[in-house]
Structure 1
Amino acid sequence: MKSTDIFLEILGCPSEEMHEPVNAGYICPYTSDRCSKRGHGTNDPFPVCSIWKYTGARENRRKDRPVIVCPKRFYTADIVGDILEHVWVGPYERNKINAVREIKMGKIGNVDMVVCDTSNLPALDNFVSVELQAIDITGTVSDVYTSHLSQTDLIRSPKYNFNTANVHKRYLTQLIKKGYFHSTWRKKIVAVIQDVLFESIRERVRFAATNPKDENTSIVFMSYTLDPTETDEEGYYRLKLKEVVGTEHSVLMNAVVYETPPSKDLFVAAIKRQL
């Protein structure tokens, strides 16, 4: 097995084309800044953008699809255009629509981006906030990265997986809080995520969907798929909008809090095993 069987993208490039990110100054092409990701046991950047998810076992093990592990990767998507088409309410002039990043939102932290209409400045009445979310991994791929830099084959297959449970716990809680704030302002917040994560969320949290442009919709999920067979004009693998689903913050909150309870009999059996 080779490192390129694990990594799809390094520092924005197809992994087979990028083995010396230090020579590129570790500059992230999506932000034009030095990569801020860190690996285990190193102070150097760990510029891995996406990793292959596998399915099956042993001789049936095969690549399923790439999973984005850095939220900055979403900046190559046409987030602004997709919001204007699927989420924005009311008329606008495209040349008056701006996007700004990292806006502080009280004690709860920042939102990654805000798309706003600047036509009535100094008044700023129409805007949509954006939260980007990638998926963390469990286990480690540090040895794979070392092999990738030295262009040597892997001694053993790495053991890693994708920590969707942590995303459910942390990201959805943040999204509900920020969604509540936006609902009080009569505004919307868009969660930009990958299709694999959105599928996981929908499997675990059953919430009613609403029209993304409805005035009561405060949270909108925009799900993208990463296509490793097609590149855009700049040579990056293409991100394609797959699904746009709206909901209300209270609906999402109730779906998260009031999940289907586990079996009481199984719970009791677990207690008995510890007696």
Structure 2
Amino acid sequence: MAATIFEFFGYRAADASDLAKRAADTETCPISGNTCQKSFNDGVISGVCAIKPITSEPVICCPIRLYSDNYRILSDIADRVFGPDLKLIAGRRAVKHAVDQQEECVAVFGKGWGGELRLPQKSKKGGYFVDWVLAKLNDQGELIEFVAVEVQTIDTTGTYRPGYEALKKERSIEKTTAGLNWENVAKRILPQLIYKGQILQREELCRSGLFFVCPAPVFERIMERLGGQEGLIRYALQPASITFAVYDYDMPEKPVSEGLIPLKNTLNHSTTVYKVQEAFNNVTLPVENVYRDAILRALGSTTSE
């Protein structure tokens, strides 16, 4: 597989503006405002937000890229679950805000906000953790309900190091051997969704289940693995919900060469953890005797029973 770097330190690789160059020179992520967290094995900061396979559209490979527009994905989910216009407050400050302002608010627990929640570990591996917890508080600072949020992009295979070197030195785009690790959809992403969805349905105050935020190409590949979106019947939000919240680039009709590309919420599909698990287990098998026929071909035989 071959691909080019599509976004580099937040900006399009083709963006030669002073802002784009400054972000690369200072290794700053314009989404978080901090030093980029993506790095190569040797510790060199890579700055790669998205790659573009030669034969398809660009795919976001850094979760922080989905936090653009001041963590809009979190406010989108809070609006849908709790109602519009509630303020999002870092978790540990939320009670004081609710009481002092005499207003409902949303306590946010997650990296860079209220910190991760301390939860019991599964075999010392932290299997219960989710990326974000949004908790609605009343005007007395009391917990009313909460919702869990997972944010997932896609890992890469191969290497985009030559593309990084070309962009760093000359702001030029070079083809790389980078690819996308779609195997993780079946091996890691879906099993985790099912497991965490089952845990959350037992929480009396988690009335809307789990939201799974991902780029459009990742959602499309998940749907391929599950046999198609039409097989996942839509349900209203409930404790056993898994809601796929899909985001994609909001490309203008007239292409522009500079600035961050905004993201848009293209789809929200709510189903249940049971439907996802059922579809995941419903494996489509190949025709019979595929191993036998492969062996015969390898042996040079052209006949089979």
TM-score range, shorter chain: 0.7 to 0.9
Specify the alignment match of 1:70 in structure 2: 62
Specify the alignment match of 2:11 in structure 1: 13
What are the Cα deviations for residues 101-155 of structure 1, in whole angstroms up to 9, with x where unaligned? Answer: 143443305321122212266542311111111112222110111011111656x
Task: Tell whether 2:108 aligns with 1:114.
Answer: no
Separation in 2, partners of 1:93, 1:151: 45
Specify the alignment match of 2:157 in structure 1: 138
How far residue 44 of structure 1 moved from its aligned partner, in angstroms, is 1.8
Task: Tell whether 2:218 aligns with 1:164.
Answer: no
Q: Residue 156 of structure 2 contacts residue 178 of structure 2 at CA under 8 Å; is this kept in 1? A: yes
Partner amino acid for 1:239?
L
Specify the alignment match of 1:263 in structure 2: 287
Return closer, same or farther for 1:100/1:235 CA change in 2, 3 Å cut-off. farther
Return closer, same or farther for 1:252/1:7 CA change in 2, 3 Å cut-off. same
How far residue 249 of structure 1 moved from its aligned partner, in angstroms, is 1.3
> Which residue among 247, 252, 255 is the counterpart of 2:276?
252
Q: Residue 24 of structure 2 contacts residue 47 of structure 2 at CA under 8 Å; is this kept in 1? A: no
SS in 1 for 2:49: strand
Partner amino acid for 1:84?
A
Specify the alignment match of 1:84 in structure 2: 78
What are the Cα deviations for residues 208-257 of structure 1, in whole angstroms up to 9, with x where unaligned? Answer: 2323x4325421100111134489xx942111011111121122112112
Specify the alignment match of 1:100 in structure 2: 109
Separation in 2, partners of 1:117, 1:106: 22
Specify the alignment match of 1:202 in structure 2: 223
Q: Single out whichever of 119-128 and 133-142 deviates more from structure 2.
A: 119-128
Partner amino acid for 1:79?
I
Separation in 2, partners of 1:163, 1:34: 25
How far residue 81 of structure 1 moved from its aligned partner, in angstroms, is 3.2
Separation in 1, partners of 2:24, 2:295: 53
> Which residue among 214, 224, 230 is the counterpart of 1:193?
214
Q: How many pairs are equivalent? A: 256
Structure 1-normalised TM-score? 0.81
Separation in 2, partners of 1:117, 1:85: 11
Partner amino acid for 1:81?
S
> Which residue among 227, 244, 250 is the counterpart of 1:227?
250
SS in 1 for 2:54: strand
Separation in 2, partners of 1:36, 1:67: 18
Specify the alignment match of 1:149 in structure 2: 168
